[in-house]
Amino acid sequence: MWYEQIYSSLITVGCVAIAMFTMLPVNLIETGHAHRRYMGSYILIMESLASVHSKMGCLEPFVISECISDWKAIRWTYQRLAEIVKPAERNGFLRIRLGPIEHIRGKIMFENESKVAYIPSLEQFFNWFIGEATMMADDQTMVDRTNYWGYFDYNYVFDIMDPENINDINWQHLGLDISPVDSTIWIGTPGAHTPCHYDSYGYNVHAQLSGSKRWILFEPSENMKPVRIPYEESTVFSSLDVIGADSSLQGKKIRVATLRKGDVIFVPPGWWHCVQCVNINDSENDLNNISVSINTWVPLANYDRIPRLQEAATSTMVAILIRSGLISSKQICSSESAGCYDDSLYDFEKLLKESKNETANDESLHRLMDFIEKQKKRMTVLPIVLFADFRAEQEKGPLKIIDSSDDSLYRANFTTSTSNLTSFQKHFIDSLLSEKVLTTLIAQLQEWA
C-alpha cells in the first residue's frame, strides 16, 4: 500500500541518519586511520573556518541613511517601473503573492500558502492598489485591496529588466564590488511581508528606493525554532510568528529598523530577519505607500563552504522525500523546482570533492571588512528593543493582528501546506534536515568522496 511505502522510506532514512549521528564520536576518534583520512580533512576545514566564523560573530546589522541619492534607480517613479518591468519570457506574466490584511497571531503565512495573481504588467498592480483596477487570484476569486496585501517579491532584475535599466542600480557607490545584474527587486503594498528566516550563506545588502519597510532581526544564536518545510533553497524559516509579535518572542533580543527612501541596511550572515512593507502616511490611495526596494546577497567564499555543502545535502534529501511521496510540491516554495534527485546528488557529490581542496585566500572577506570600515562614520547599529514596545508597534499596523483561537478566517483565506503531514512526520523531516544531522552526514561522506 502507498502508506507502507511512505513509512518504509521514513524508517530507512531515519535509521541511516541516526546511525550516522551516533557513529560520529567513533569516526572522530579514528581519524588517524587510513579509511578515515577524509574525516580528518573535514575537521581541518571546520577548524580553518573557526576564525572566519568568529569574525562574523562580531558583526551586527546596521543602517546607512540616505546614502544612494546618486543612483539613477532612486528616481524610478511608479510609472517608470510599470514601463521597465516586463514579464519574463518563459511565462508572460508577473506573479503577485497575496495575503490577508487580518493576521491571526500565532499563524505564519509561508509563501507556498499564499494566493497568487498573474498579471500582464505592474500598471495593473498599482491601479489595483489605488482602486482603479481589479485583480483575480489563481483560485478565480476577486481580490479586494482593502482586505489583502500584494507582493511582487524575489524577482531577479535580469529576468524582468533590460540591461540599460539594470545599470541604474549602483552598488559600487557603497564600496561594494558587485554587479547589479544579480540584484532582486521587491514591490509590496502595506502589510506585505516575508516570514522570519535566515539566509544560509552570504550577507544581505538591501536598498530602499521608495516607500518604507520594517526590518525585525534576531541574532544567529537565538533559538527561533528553525524548520525546513516549506522548503526553499538557502532559506531556513522560523516557526515563530514574528509578524504577529507572538508571546513566544518574549525574552529574545529584538532589533527593529524602519527603512525609508534612500536608506540601506546591512544584514550579517546568519541573522534571522522578518521584513514587512509599511505605510508612510494614512492615505489609502497614495502610491507612495507602496514599498520598492532592491537587494543583493554577497557570497563569502570561505564562510559559505560548509553551508553550501549543507544546502546541497538538504536539496538531495528533499528530492528523496519527494520521490518517496512523503512530501509533495505543496511543501515546496514556488521559487523552487520540485527537485531532481539525480541532479541534486550530482551537485552534492561535486561540492564534496571540491571541499577537499585547500582553501585559497578569501578576498571576499577582506572586501566585506573594508566595506564595514568605510561605513563606520555614517552607520547606525540597530538597538535592542523591549518586547512590549515591539508588540505595540506591530499592533499599530498595517496588519490587523487578531488574538483568537478561532482560525476559520485563516483557513478560508489560504490552505495549510503541511495539512497532509502528521505532527510526527513534520518533526521527523525537520530533524532529518537539521544542521546537526546534515553535519554528521557530510562528515561521513567525506570519507568516501
Residues 248 and 397 in one domain: yes
Higher pLDDT, 341 or 328: 328
Higher pLDDT, 417 or 242: 242
Same domain, yes or no: 296 and 337: no
Q: One-letter amino acid identity for 360?
A: A
210 and 332, same domain (yes or no): no
Flag whether pLDDT at 334 surpasses 90. Answer: no
Looking at the fold, whether 289 and 149 belong to one and the same domain comes out as yes
For residue 343, being part of any structural domain is answered with: yes
CA distance 210 to 191: 15
Q: What residue spans of 157-271 are helical by DSSP H?
A: 157-160, 163-166
Same domain membership, residue 182 and residue 169: yes
Q: Is residue 295 domain-shared with residue 316, that is, in the same domain?
A: no
Within-domain flag for 45: no
53-108 pLDDT, tens digit each: 666 678 999 999 999 999 999 999 999 999 999 998 667 899 999 999 999 999 99
Q: Which domain holds residue 343?
A: 304-361+426-448
Domain-located, residue 235: yes
d(CA 74, CA 81): 11
**Residue 7: pLDDT above 50?**
no
Question: From CA 371, how far away is CA 374, in angstroms rounded?
Answer: 5
Q: Are residues 175 and 272 in the same domain?
A: yes
Give per-residue pLDDT as tens, 257-273. 999 999 999 999 999 99
Does residue 2 carry a pLDDT above 80?
no
Q: Which residue has the higher pLDDT, 448 or 283?
A: 283
Task: Let me know whether 166 and 97 are in one domain.
Answer: yes
pLDDT band at 339 (very low <50, low <70, confident <90, very high): low
| Residue 275 and residue 332 in one domain | no
Task: Look at residue 432 in the predicted model and tell me its pLDDT.
Answer: 92
Cβ count within 10 A of residue 172: 11
Instruction: State the DSSP code for 186.
Output: E
* Set of cell numbers at residue 303: 564562510
Q: Extract the C-alpha cell encoding 142.
A: 476577486
- Radius of gyration in angstroms for the set of CA atoms belonging to the chain, rounded to a whole number: 23
Cα–Cα distances (Å) from 391 to 21, 143, 231, 311, 446, in that order, read 40, 28, 28, 33, 46
Least Cα distance to 423 among 279, 250, 227, 287 occurs for: 227
Is residue 298 predicted with pLDDT exceeding 90? Answer: yes
The verdict on 266 and 308 lying in the same domain is no
Band of pLDDT at residue 49, cut at 50, 70 and 90? low
- Does residue 23 sit within a domain? no
Residue 32 pLDDT > 50? no
Residue 62 lies in a domain: yes
Q: Residue written as cell 557570497?
A: 299
Outline where DSSP puts E strands in 93-234. Answer: 94-100, 102-104, 115-119, 148-156, 184-188, 193-199, 203-210, 212-218, 226-232
40 assigned to some structural domain: no
Domains: count for the chain: 2
Q: Enumerate residues 6+ apart whose C-beta is below 8 A from 213.
A: 206, 258, 259, 275, 276, 277, 278, 291, 293
User: Nine-digit cell at 410?
Assistant: 485563516
| Short-list 224, 247, 94, 195, CA closest to 417 | 195
Cis status, amide bond into 398, omega within 30 of 0? yes
Please name which of 133, 113, 125, 182 lies closest in space to residue 152, comparing C-alpha atoms. Answer: 125
pLDDT surpasses 90 at 327: no
Contact 358, 163 (CB under 8 A): no
Which whole number is the average pLDDT over 350-376?
84
One-character DSSP codes across 30-41: TTTSGGGHHHHH
Task: Mark whether 72 and 128 lie in a shared domain.
Answer: yes
Neighbours of 158 (CB within 10 A): 16
In a domain, 121, yes or no: yes
Q: Is 211 exposed, middle or buried (0-12, 13-18, 19+ CB in 10 A)?
A: buried
Dihedrals φ, ψ of 103, to 5°? Answer: -115, 120
The tally of CA atoms less than 13 A away on the side-chain side of residue 440 is 18
Residue 157 domain flag: yes
Same domain, 261 and 348: no
The label of the residue with cell 552598488 reads 171
CATH number at residue 199: 2.60.120.10
- Complete edge-to-edge strand list for the sheet that includes strand 212-218: 226-232, 235-238, 193-199, 272-278, 212-218, 254-259, 384-385
What local confidence, expressed as pLDDT, does residue 12 receive? 47
3-state secondary structure of 233: coil
Highest mean pLDDT: which of 38-42, 230-234, 237-241?
A: 237-241
